[in-house]
Amino acid sequence: MERQVRVCGGPMTAGLRSGAGETSRRQRQRGLPAALILLTLLTCCVRCAESAKPSNIILILADDQDVQLGGMTPMKKTKALIGDAGATFVNAFTVTPLCCPSRSSILTGQYPHNHEVRNNSLTGNCSSPLWQKGPESATFPIYLNKQKYQTFFAGKYLNQYGKKDAGDVGHIPPGWDQWHALVGNSQYYNYTLSVNGKEEKHGDSYEKDYLTDLITNRSLHFLDDRSPQHPFFLMLSPPAPHSPWTAAPQYQKEFSDVKAPRDGSFDKPGKDKHWLLRQPINPMPNSSLTFLDNAYRKRWQTLLSVDDMVEKLVKKLDSVKELDNTYIFYTSDNGYHTGQFSLPIDKRQLYEFDIRIPLMVRGPGIKPNQTLQAPVLNIDLAPTILDISGVNLSSVNVDGQSFLSQMAPSLRNGSARPFFLVEYTGEGHPTTDPACPKLGPGLSQCFPDCVCEDAYNNTYACVRTLDKEHNLQYCEFADSESFVEVYNLTSDPHQLENIVKKVDPAVLQAMNQRLIKLQSCVGNSCRDYK
Q: Is residue 445 part of a domain?
A: no
For residues 137-155, give the mean pLDDT: 98
Confidence of residue 273 (pLDDT cuts 50, 70, 90): very high
Task: Give the mean pLDDT of the chain.
Answer: 91
Q: Is residue 318 part of a domain?
A: yes
Q: Is residue 29 part of a domain?
A: no
Active-site residue (options: 99, 436, 446, 462)? 99
> Is 99 considered catalytic here?
yes
Share of the chain above pLDDT 70, in %: 90
Q: Is residue 476 part of a domain?
A: no
CA pair distance 344, 338, nearest whole angstrom: 5
For residues 100-118, give the mean pLDDT: 98
Given the DSSP bridges, would you call strands 192-195 and 87-89 parallel, antiparallel or unpaired? unpaired
How much is the CA Rg of the chain, to the nearest whole Å?
Answer: 26
| CATH number, residue 118 | 3.40.720.10
> Is the Cβ–Cβ distance between 238 and 212 less than 8 Å?
yes
More confident residue, 23 or 316: 316
- For residue range 11-43, list pLDDT tens digits in order: 333 333 333 344 443 444 444 455 444 444 444
Q: Is residue 478 part of a domain?
A: no
CA pair distance 111, 390, nearest whole angstrom: 23
Confidence of residue 510 (pLDDT cuts 50, 70, 90): very high
Q: How far is CA 227 from CA 222, 316, 424, in A?
A: 10, 15, 42
Range of the domain at 105: 56-419
Whether pLDDT at 193 is above 90:
yes
Whether pLDDT at 166 is above 70:
yes
Q: Is residue 450 part of a domain?
A: no
CA pair distance 97, 327, nearest whole angstrom: 26
* Residue from 245, 222, 362 nearest 295 by CA: 245
Instruction: Note the pLDDT of residue 26.
Output: 42
Whether pLDDT at 236 is above 50:
yes
Please state the φ and ψ torsions of residue 316, each to the nearest 5 degrees. -65, -45
For residues 389-407, give the mean pLDDT: 97
Q: Is residue 256 part of a domain?
A: yes
Confidence of residue 530 (pLDDT cuts 50, 70, 90): confident
Whether pLDDT at 298 is above 80:
yes
Q: Is residue 468 part of a domain?
A: no
- For residue range 365-374, list pLDDT tens digits in order: 999 999 999 9
CA pair distance 381, 361, nearest whole angstrom: 11
Number of domains in the chain: 1
Whether pLDDT at 512 is above 90:
yes
CA pair distance 442, 433, nearest whole angstrom: 8
Question: Which secondary-structure segment (H or E) carries 6?
Answer: strand 4-7
> Is the Cβ–Cβ distance between 435 and 447 less than 8 Å?
yes
